[in-house]
Amino acid sequence: MEIEFWWLLALPLFFALGWLAARIDIKQVVKESRALPRSYFAGLNFLLNEQQDKAIDAFIEAVRIDPQTIELHFALGSLFRRRGETDRAIRMHQILVDREDLNEDQRLQALAELGQDFLKAGLLDRAEAVFLKLRDTREKDMALRYLLEIYQQEKDWAKAIEVAGALPDHEGLMWRREVANFHCELAASALADSRYDEVRRQVEEAFSINRRCVRASLLLGDVLAAEGRDEEALETWKRIESQDPVYLALAAERIMDAYGRLGRVEQGHQLLKAWLERHASLDLLDELFHWELEKQGPKAAYDLVREELKRNPTLLGLDKLLEAALLAAPAEQRSDIELVKQLIHGHTRKVARYRCDACGFKARQFHWRCPACGGWETYPPRRTEEFDLTP
């Protein structure tokens, strides 16, 4: 390949221009670095050496020396909040909010950070006031999400419904579940006060948002049963099988009580057994087990659990089987069965908890809303062992 003569003349020029640009950049970096307080670099050094407490002290000193380090204010405030030092985070972000030299974007960011500080500190009224100010700004979406969390913590379901309707991604699956449950919370409160018309109104709202809302079916059946309309209540609860059969166990006791009031206990018993055959459930088995034990005796309860164990072998089922066997066994055999039952029971305590589908949080009690992550209907009435057995 031949080299053009003019290339030889151009190469020194390119080198000269590159050298000049590098010199300019270096001078700018040196100038900016000299303008920063030495404590800023000390803070960076502490961070690199994983000495966070000393780094924070150094950065605070840098902020004191040079109040213009706005981004450092934001970084420190967020760091304090993550560490749980909400008082220091609030002071840091309040200083920014009160400054007059901030532009509009920086002021909104400072307010948003301050609202999160108040929320983390549990000062819900002050957090609400901040996010309400941000609701008509470019930070609207973020403010609405935090307001929704605040109203759920305060159990102000009417405000939660209003805010949820203003979210940009409303009407998605998770949104429908959440808002339907907000209406169910209002319905449950009205039911406790025997305000049956209000219960119906809230249940209808829940169904209009989510036709598969099991909780609304349970509440509607409760209203009908309270009014003495057991046949209609039963039909309402039976619909749960088509909505989500995982929740059938929640209706089991209600159904047996209603059939008992109608004088058709055996019909209710057969219905629950049919459900158990179609939809394996440890809670449903538990309900049937106790009914058999009380009404038919240990032998009937033993036979019930034995048949279910053949279909769905579980430690919790085995524990029930041993309980029935212990009651039916001769006196001389009970000590041996009791010993085995105690060994099994020690293991069943670990697998008898409910578990959230979203975050994995476990608890012994069923919740419509997960206590850990706050998800609605992410905490089905299925024991941990049932999750482990699911393919």
Shared domain for 288 and 330, answered yes or no, is yes
Decide if 351 contacts 316 (C-beta within 8 A). Answer: yes
Could you give the C-alpha distances from 300 to 62, 91, 216, 281, 297, in angstroms and in order?
77, 68, 34, 19, 6
Q: Which of 166, 198, 231 is the last residue of a domain?
A: 166
Q: Which of 116, 137, 166 is the last residue of a domain?
A: 166
**272 belongs to a structural domain:** no
- pLDDT of 32 > 50? The answer is no
H helical segments located in 154-264: 157-166, 173-192, 196-209, 214-226, 230-238, 240-243, 248-261
Tokens of 63: 């902020």
pLDDT tens for 272-311 read 999 988 988 888 888 888 888 888 888 888 888 888 878 8
Shared domain for 84 and 150, answered yes or no, is yes
**13 belongs to a structural domain:** no
Shared domain for 309 and 387, answered yes or no, is no
Shared domain for 116 and 150, answered yes or no, is yes
Shared domain for 306 and 389, answered yes or no, is no
pLDDT of residue 65: 44
- Model confidence at 48, pLDDT cuts 50, 70, 90, reads very low
Could you give the C-alpha distances from 188 to 137, 202, 205, 374, in angstroms and in order?
36, 9, 13, 19
Shared domain for 344 and 363, answered yes or no, is no
- Model confidence at 245, pLDDT cuts 50, 70, 90, reads very high
**297 belongs to a structural domain:** yes
pLDDT-wise least confident of 46-60, 102-116, 352-366: 46-60
Three-state secondary structure call for residue 188:
helix
Beta strand residue intervals within 60-191, DSSP E:
none
Shared domain for 83 and 146, answered yes or no, is yes
pTM over 0.85: no
Shared domain for 289 and 327, answered yes or no, is yes
Q: Which of 166, 182, 215 is the last residue of a domain?
A: 166
Full residue range of the structural domain in which residue 294 is found: 281-352
**302 belongs to a structural domain:** yes
Shared domain for 95 and 149, answered yes or no, is yes
Could you give the C-alpha distances from 207 to 118, 200, 236, 252, in angstroms and in order?
35, 10, 13, 22
d(CA 217, CA 247): 11
pLDDT tens for 300-331 read 888 888 888 788 777 777 777 777 777 777 77
Could you give the C-alpha distances from 23 to 34, 61, 72, 232, in angstroms and in order?
16, 32, 28, 86
Helices (H) and strands (E) in the chain — how many of each? 21, 2
Most confident of 142-146, 280-284, 375-379: 142-146
213 among annotated binding-site residues: no
Closest CA to 347 of 327, 317, 390, 326: 317
Q: What percent of the chain has pLDDT over 70?
A: 76
| Number of domains composing the chain | 3
**57 belongs to a structural domain:** no
**367 belongs to a structural domain:** yes
Closest CA to 381 of 361, 360, 355: 355
**138 belongs to a structural domain:** yes
pLDDT tens for 173-182 read 678 889 999 9
**339 belongs to a structural domain:** yes
Shared domain for 293 and 378, answered yes or no, is no
- What rounded mean pLDDT belongs to the chain? 79
Shared domain for 99 and 131, answered yes or no, is yes
pLDDT-wise least confident of 213-217, 241-245, 358-362: 358-362
184 among annotated binding-site residues: no
